[in-house]
Structure 1
């Protein structure tokens, strides 16, 4: 059972709010088309009507928020809560669009006033005004070209630094390999010298053994005589 308020049932207020949403959305779209059209035209009546409709929708949302809270069934209460929140969010979005429209319109009017002031200071000398705009455009073009050249130079410098860094890493790697080879050669030379020294010692031992054997044999022969 839907709750009933002073403005009607919850369903009636909801349907009324939906109708206001459709009309408000159409009004905002008309304002945006009128703002960007070249034909111009008065938009004050439309903007006033749109603002009034948004206020009406938000008032209805407050009424619906009061009504759905009095529904007994939790499932129905949750359903209506989501519906009311959706309407409130769309109304908020439309108000934001209307505020942006007013800001753009205010900015456009300010720019038109500044252009009129500039033309007034130039005493109607349109050529002078156009020359100012042309100089600004040329300056912006020059700044853009300089920025592109700077970006190109920066990219070239980064590429050169990257190449130098890669070469440095390769040189370091080659240096480490060379040191490894030298260390290996030095170790091999030490091993060879150790082997030669051992061979010489073995030869001396062999010669001493032969000499001792001969002496022992001579002693035994002499002793037996």
Structure 2
């Protein structure tokens, strides 16, 4: 009876491209290949900084789709088995294949999620690095401006110190000259006192000097009048 049931199952699967047993064996081979490929993909993920292995991940995705297609076909075929024990057995086998296929799909989806997260983190790092470079350039510009301002203030301070030193030197020279003038004045007074000239004598000398000046002017005027009169008389 079991042979007849398998025969019936095989007849039912013939129209779908193979017997239930053939499709099951094919699904098992694809499962093994997919599991190995997924393990290899995960090893590559943790062994390098590569974001993705597109060819390998795409191949795994196609194999999982093939497993799901086999499960749909086997689910149709096991229902046509006449023997209930055989039907229950094949139902469990198909369910196990489907569960393992779902597990592989879940692992691949998690891989894609991790890969997407890595891509987002790399993008954020690149943006942060770009902003950091921009901020560094700004900080450098601010530092340069501040350094220039400090240098300018230092130069101004040096100029003020030089101007102050120059002013002090000039005032010192003026003070020296004033002291020399005072000393000369004191010497002159000492000389006058030594000669015995008094203020009245000095005033008399000044008065005599003014008289001499007027006498000279008067003589010059008289001379001009005489010359003019002689010139008129002769002409």
TM-score, with structure 1 as normaliser: 0.53
Please report how far the alpha carbon of residue 124 of structure 1 lies from its aligned counterpart in structure 2 after TM superposition. Answer: 7.1
The CA distance in 2 between the partners of 1:34 and 1:11, in whole Å, is 35
Query: Which stretches of structure 1, 4 residues or longer, exceed 6 Å deviation after superposition?
Result: none
Flag structure 1 segments of 5+ consecutive residues without an equivalent.
127-225
Counterpart residue number, 1:23: 33
Q: Structure 1's 39 and 122: CA in aligned 2 closer, same or farther, altered over 3 A?
A: closer
The CA distance in 1 between the partners of 2:118 and 2:52, in whole Å, is 14
1:79 aligns with 2:89: yes
Please report how far the alpha carbon of residue 28 of structure 1 lies from its aligned counterpart in structure 2 after TM superposition. Answer: 1.0
1:44-83 equivalences in 2 (<5 Å): 44-83=54-93
C-alpha contact (below 8 Å) 1:31/1:47 kept by paired residues: yes
C-alpha contact (below 8 Å) 1:119/1:125 kept by paired residues: no
Q: What SS does the aligned partner of 1:123 have?
A: helix
1:155-166 equivalences in 2 (<5 Å): none
1:188-203 equivalences in 2 (<5 Å): none
Q: What SS does the aligned partner of 1:122 have?
A: helix
The CA distance in 2 between the partners of 1:25 and 1:80, in whole Å, is 22
C-alpha contact (below 8 Å) 2:45/2:52 kept by paired residues: no
Counterpart residue number, 2:53: 43
C-alpha contact (below 8 Å) 2:81/2:87 kept by paired residues: yes
1:1-225 equivalences in 2 (<5 Å): 1-2=5-6, 3-4=9-10, 5=13, 6-38=16-48, 40=50, 43-123=53-133
Flag structure 2 segments of 5+ consecutive residues without an equivalent.
137-235
> Which one has the largest radius of gyration?
2
The CA distance in 2 between the partners of 1:40 and 1:50, in whole Å, is 18
Q: What SS does the aligned partner of 1:71 have?
A: coil
Counterpart residue number, 2:227: none
Q: Structure 1's 123 and 39: CA in aligned 2 closer, same or farther, altered over 3 A?
A: closer
The CA distance in 1 between the partners of 2:60 and 2:83, in whole Å, is 36
Q: What SS does the aligned partner of 1:7 have?
A: coil
TM-align CA RMSD: 1.7
Show CA shifts across 1:40-62 (max 9, x none). 37510011000100000000000
TM-score, with structure 2 as normaliser: 0.51
